[in-house]
Amino acid sequence: MSIYAAAGAKPAIDEICQRFEEQHGIVMEVTYGGGGEVLSQIELARTGDIYIAPEQCFMEAAEQKGLIDPSTLESIANMIPVIAMCKGNPNHIVDLTDLARPGIKVAVTRPETTLLGKYAPEIFEKAGLTAGIEDNIVTHALRPDSLLTILILGQVDAGIIWHFYETQAPDQIEIVWLKPEQLTGIGEMQIAMTRFCKDVKSARQFIDFVSSADSKAILTKHGYIVDIKEVNNH
């Protein structure tokens, strides 16, 4: 089975696919990349059985282009924007106002390529900090996982990223949760069958498996929030 998936979700998706292979004997071939990147590959090659989008905006685009079967669409995980810093928080960043301090180098993602990149300026504006933080933005990363790399390399002091990345790099970064009233939206990782699916039965089995308790446990282990009610706890 051919899957096109978000690069940021690789640790969780790899484990889910391995478990599915063990239980069903179906070989999984996964192509990873940015949400828009792999969607373009599906569109150009007219191939692929499953699309796993990192953020709902990509699945919306896939549906508008007629590349997925919307009746198979499932939301499988939730993600919350947070402030991320290098481990040890050397600049003592504890809230949004600190991102506006002179000399703090901030990274965000591009609004044209990520939903997170759209949320970041909205969060800054809602907090009344747009001018101060914009002066400190030194990088607009293509993808959240690219921002993570930039942060780990010490090229920036802080960035707006999805919360689950702390689980992917616990020894290298730490996060500060934003107050609920500061958020302007959350992210959803979603899955759907493509219009080019060659093995509909197996694809439906996989979508059901991703929605199962076993897969939810894997996603939770990798830092995702699988119960929308838990979002309110953050």
What is the C-alpha separation between 21 and 97, in angstroms, rounded? 47
Residue 112, token pair as written in the block? 């044209």
What is the C-alpha separation between 154 and 133, in angstroms, rounded? 18
Residue 122 has pLDDT above 80, yes or no: yes
What is the C-alpha separation between 32 and 9, in angstroms, rounded? 9
This prediction's pTM: 0.89
Q: What is the pLDDT of residues 130-164, one digit of tens each?
A: 999 999 999 999 889 999 999 999 999 999 999 99
Residue 114 has pLDDT above 90, yes or no: no
Which residue segments constitute the domains of the chain, with CATH numbers given? 2-78+187-231 (3.40.190.10), 81-182 (3.40.190.10)
Residue 232 has pLDDT above 80, yes or no: no
What is the DSSP annotation of 12-81? HHHHHHHHHHHHH----EEEEE-HHHHHHHHHHHT--SEEEESSHHHHHHHHHTT-B-GGG-EEEEEE-E
Contact (CB, 8 A) for 106 and 136: yes
| Residue linked to tokens 């894997």 | 218
What pLDDT does residue 203 have?
96
Q: What is the mean pLDDT of residues 66-90?
A: 96
Residue 112 has pLDDT above 90, yes or no: no
Distance, C-alpha 233 to centroid of its chain: 19
